[in-house]
């Protein structure tokens, strides 16, 4: 994304997660990574202000890590 005023490439100013349908048990929760893009040109009137917000949905937020036999043996060793 480029700044609409100065046409310089923007940078990510802030990143956060957003949950959708988290309060309804009928629908699965959808998780998004949100990037606020800001102008990085100090001479531009829109410098350091949000120019665009980009959202990317995480396709499988309920997936969990699968433990392997090596991981389990490491955990057993740590407990001893």
Angstrom distance (rounded) from CA 37 to CA 3: 9
- Give pLDDT, residue 55: 92
Q: What is the pLDDT of residues 26-71, one digit of tens each?
A: 888 888 999 999 999 999 999 999 999 999 998 864 555 555 555 4
Angstrom distance (rounded) from CA 3 to CA 39: 6
Assess whether pLDDT exceeds 90 at residue 24: no
pTM above 0.85, yes or no: no
SS3 39: strand
Residue 37 burial (CB count, 10 A): 19
Assess whether pLDDT exceeds 60 at residue 79: no
Give the distance from CA 72 to its chain's centroid: 30
Residue 8 — pLDDT band, cuts 50, 70, 90?
very high
- Give pLDDT, residue 69: 53
CA angle 37, 38, 44 (to 5 degrees): 150
């Amino acid at each position: 994304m480029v700044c609409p005023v100065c046409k310089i490439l923007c940078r990510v100013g802030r990143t956060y997660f957003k949950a959708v349908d988290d309060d309804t048990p009928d629908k699965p929760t959808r998780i998004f990574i949100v990037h606020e893009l800001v102008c990085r040109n100090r001479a531009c009137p829109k410098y350091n202000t949000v120019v665009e917000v980009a959202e990317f949905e995480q396709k499988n937020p309920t997936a969990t890590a699968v433990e392997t036999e090596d991981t389990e043996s490491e955990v057993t060793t740590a407990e001893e």
